[in-house]
Amino acid sequence: MITRFAPSPTGPLHLGHAYSALYAHDMARAAGGTFLLRIEDIDQSRARPEWESQIYDDLAWLGLAWPTPVMRQSDRLPTYAAALDTLWTRGLLYPCSCNRRDILAAASAPQEGAAMGPDGIIYPGTCRGRPRTGPRPQDTALRLDMRKSLQAVNSKTFYGMSPKHMLDDIGDVVLCRRDMGTSYHLSVVIDDAAQQITDVVRGADLHEATPIHVLLQHLLQIPTPAYHHHRLIRDDAGKRLAKRDDARAIATYRADGATPADIRRMVGLPLSSG
Ligand code: GLU
């Protein structure tokens, strides 16, 4: 078994991250497997070296250990580009220059709300007819043509989702963001495969993105790991913890004198990790 924790260094780790990391770590430990860490820093406008150092520091303090060197997504842009080239050559991507306002205007009839998918408003297809020939365009976003992609694979269900639901409830997601040269969805599936992750442990908030990941695994002919989506840690008001909730940051608890055992107790995990 190989599990992983894949944080983005865009803010302090909070209790929810601690839960995810400890859960993935304990699961690998109990099976005599390996726990890996991966830094998901494709959003270079938000990633900061100091957050990355804080991640290493907090996780080590929690009692976790992982093999080094740690995989960092910012080192892997050529690998993502190669996958985009493959999908482009197969005619499964198209360039899109719509901004949020364009999408909203095209998606919603007056008085009606626009349908929402895992990445926000479901794309109405404005740019779908743009040319897909020639070399892959740079400096523009690329969307996955959901209908063509579903036709290109044999599977009829994607993490329990039917092709019809993939079309209606997910649609043409962005696989290459203009400012990043990749996207969360593309990078996460390529790296889980590259690191031979057998079991992905992550929060229930990513449950609805998983059918996209399974479809991409079919398209790229890489294995689908087992997915374990755990409950989300909420604050006293029942709200999901966010990066900006500094009050729940591991570093804040540490500074207040909490121990790693206290953190395990707070998130409801057993003290002995097996
Ligand atoms: N980097 C993602 C995040 O911090 C997690 C990705 C995943 O576990 O699939 O939200």
pLDDT tens digits, one per residue of 164-209: 999 999 999 999 999 999 999 999 999 999 999 999 999 999 999 9
Average pLDDT for 67-75: 98
User: Which of 27, 73, 159, 188 to probe ligand 1 with, by most ligand atoms within 8 A of CB?
Assistant: 188
> Looking at the predicted structure, is the pLDDT value of residue 273 above 80?
no
> Looking at the predicted structure, is the pLDDT value of residue 214 above 70?
yes
Atom of ligand 1 nearest to the CA of 7: 4
Report CA 36 to chain centroid distance, whole Å.
16
SS3 string, 83-148, reads HHHHHHHCCCEEEECCCHHHHHHHHCCCCCCCCEECCEECCCCCCCCCCCCCCCCCCCEEEECHHH
Apex CA 257: angle with CA 260 and CA 251, to 5°?
70
Residue type, 205: D
CA of residue 201 to ligand 1 center, whole Å:
10
What is the tens place of the pLDDT at every residue in 115-133?
Answer: 899 999 999 999 999 999 9
- The residues lining ligand 1, judged by C-beta closer than 6 Å to any ligand atom, are 6-8, 40, 188, 202, 206
- Indicate the pLDDT class of residue 114, thresholds 50, 70 and 90: confident
CA of residue 130 to ligand 1 center, whole Å:
32
pLDDT of residue 238: 80
Read off the DSSP letter of residue 171: -
Q: Whose CA is nearest to atom 2 of ligand 1?
A: 7
Q: Is-contact 187 195, C-beta < 8 A? A: no
CATH fold of 77-176 reads Glutamyl-tRNA Synthetase; domain 3 (3.90.800)
How far apart are alpha carbons 149 and 33 in whole angstroms?
Answer: 34
How many CB atoms are closer than 10 A to CB 205? 12
pLDDT of residue 272: 66
Selection from 183, 6, 174 nearest residue 77 by Cα: 183
pLDDT of residue 274: 47
Chain region(s) in the chain for CATH 3.90.800? 77-176
CA of residue 8 to ligand 1 center, whole Å:
7
Q: Whose CA is nearest to atom 6 of ligand 1?
A: 6
Selection from 99, 274, 266, 72 nearest residue 177 by Cα: 99
Q: H/E element holding 224?
A: none
User: Which of 2, 3, 8 to probe ligand 1 with, by most ligand atoms within 8 A of CB?
Assistant: 8
> Looking at the predicted structure, is the pLDDT value of residue 108 above 80?
no
CATH number of 2-75+184-267: 3.40.50.620
> Looking at the predicted structure, is the pLDDT value of residue 242 above 80?
no
Chain region(s) in the chain for CATH 3.40.50.620? 2-75+184-267
pLDDT of residue 271: 87
pTM (two decimals)? 0.95
CA of residue 84 to ligand 1 center, whole Å:
20
